[in-house]
Copies of this chain bind each other. A is one copy, B any other.
């Protein structure tokens, strides 16, 4: 069974449980409307040694930042502002002192940058590797929530930055080249927190999510949840690396969004004026249900699926 197969199975098994007012599994975060025009959003991510990180290739301090960053990215992808986290740590005995301290410092530094509280969690021993779980909580106005399910045919597809750097950096790490700039990008993801909050206030932005498994995988979630298709213009993908890595590599943590095409020029200009960086149009939503890769208008027979941990 794949990761997504297991998630689907758990969702099926628990489908009859009450929702208690939550919008549950299926987006970057669960959503709880508070009834006062505001909602809370919730997400959890697990990082497992030897699966998500190698202790010899990533410092404890970097890992502390990364464990938080991947969750803040999910909150930002809903258009929400992260407000608090719970941190669970399972640590082998030999990591208890200095490693745990450096990890907590890295976590604290990123939490300080984004003004996020640490309000709870759990610590325990581990008989094998390090395991980290972070639950992040965000707040957002109900009318600003951005879901995967709101893409419409004709929308422009945009990404929040260069793709593939993290995956190329992981390749460097696995080849023993830990000092390259791309390896540093892989170890120190920067969640687009301010960008997500800013985009949430733009009504022309429809669907949004974050890129954690590569565009080739993640775009399919928007397609499935919105009941739409997509065309991607390969020549417009912003990347310093090869296209396959850019589209199938994981852990970019850039925003992926769709927007009403009529308002995209203003969106691009305002975003650049506000952040000094670019949103990148890379294709459009269609009514077809299929994902088509175009190289300067010519369909390409690519069977790209994106990154999977297993």
Binding site for B on A (CB under 8 A): 1, 3, 6-7, 9-10, 13-14, 16-25, 29-30, 32, 34-36, 40, 42-46, 48-52, 83-84, 86-91, 93, 96-97, 100-101, 104-105, 107-108, 111-112, 115-129, 131, 133, 135, 137, 309-310
Q: Which residues of B contact A135 (CB under 8 A)?
A: 42, 44, 86, 135
| Bound Cα distance from A29 to B6, whole angstroms | 29
24 pairs, CB–CB < 8 Å, chain A vs chain B: A1-B96, A6-B89, A14-B118, A17-B111, A18-B115, A18-B116, A21-B83, A25-B118, A25-B121, A30-B119, A30-B120, A36-B36, A44-B87, A44-B88, A44-B120, A45-B88, A48-B124, A48-B126, A48-B127, A49-B127, A50-B128, A93-B310, A126-B131, A128-B128
- How many copies altogether? 2
A104 touching B10 in the complex, CB below 8 Å, given contacts A119-B22, A120-B44: yes
From residue A255, how far is it (CB to closest CB) to chain B in Å?
Answer: 19
Chain B hits for A131, CB < 8 A: 46, 48, 90, 126, 131
Q: With A10-B87, A310-B93 known to touch, is A42 a contact of B117 (CB < 8 Å)? A: no
Contacts A46-B131, A125-B310 supplied; 6 other A-B pairs, CB < 8 Å: A7-B123, A45-B88, A46-B133, A51-B90, A51-B124, A86-B135
* CB-CB under 8 A for A51 and B117, given A6-B100, A135-B44, A135-B135: no
Q: Which residues of B contact A32 (CB under 8 A)?
A: 84, 137
| CB neighbours of A51 from chain B (8 A) | 90, 124-127
Chain B residues contacting A21 (CB-CB under 8 Å) are 83
Contact (A108, B13) CB under 8 Å given A51-B125, A117-B18: yes
